[in-house]
Amino acid sequence: MTTDTRTSIIEATYALTLAGSAVPSLDAVVRAAGVSKGGLLHHFPTRVALLHGLVKWLGAKSIAWFDELCENGSAVDAWLTASTPKSEEMNEVFVLFTTMQALRAAGEVGDSGHEDFIAHVDERLTQEFDGPDANQRALLIRLVGDGLFLSALLGQRVPEQSRADLVASLVSRESV
């Protein structure tokens, strides 16, 4: 599959970050992506711009993955499934955290570029509910997913049956 230069640069940055446990130098990205330094700087004029590009790329991947999960069931089930990442997703989480830490170290606070993903999840969750409490129900479910995510990061996975029971409880009107 052919990718454009910008995507090749982002994918190389992702792979190098994952392999090296740190955000790579621009020279390392140039070598790994097979582009000239000028080609890299054309697409990403600074290292910070490259890091923002990587975060946005990861956010877009997350949205596509979440939407794919939604096709197989409800947004609630999709979110709680997404909140218990497997090894490849954990790799993406690691790269996201590493990149966001590098952005903070560079003085870049605020919009990480990943907010688009969370806004998308919130919207999809809210669409599943009726009534004046739809936003609150969606927020509750997102926060439960955040808790599952933290548990997964700490190695405390929730058994599948317990997760399925949780989904059933959260979608029933009486539970909220």
pLDDT digits (tens, 9 = 90+) for 39-61: 999 999 999 999 999 999 999 99
pLDDT band at 167 (very low <50, low <70, confident <90, very high): confident
| 50-64 as b/e: b if 16+ CB within 10 A | bbbbbbbbbbeebbe
Look up the domain containing 109 and give its range.
Answer: 55-175
- Per-residue pLDDT at 11 exceeds 60: yes
Which element (helix H / strand E) includes 139? helix 134-153
Mean pLDDT of 94-118: 85
Give me the percent of the chain exceeding a pLDDT of 70. Answer: 94
CA distances from 51 to 21, 39, 123, 132 (A): 14, 16, 26, 39
**Total domains present in the chain:** 2
Whether 50 maps to a domain, the answer reads no
Residue 125 sits in the same domain as residue 160 = yes
Instruction: Using CA atoms of 112, 5, 27, 39 in order, give the dihedral in degrees to the nearest 10.
Output: -110
Output the domain CATH number for residue 10: 1.10.10
What does the alpha-carbon distance between residue 93 and residue 107 come to, in Å, rounded to a whole number? 21
pLDDT of residue 2 exceeding 50, the answer is no
Query: Do 3 and 86 fall within a single domain?
Result: no
**Would you say residue 19 lies in a domain?**
yes
The reply to whether 83 and 106 lie within a common domain is yes
Asked whether residue 35 is assigned to any structural domain, the reply reads: yes
- Rounded to two decimals, the pTM is 0.85
| Rounded-to-integer distance, Cα 23 and Cα 74, Å | 36
Confirm whether 127 is domain-assigned: yes
Would residue 65 count as lying in a domain? yes
Give domain status of residue 139, yes or no: yes
Predicted local confidence at residue 113, as pLDDT: 63
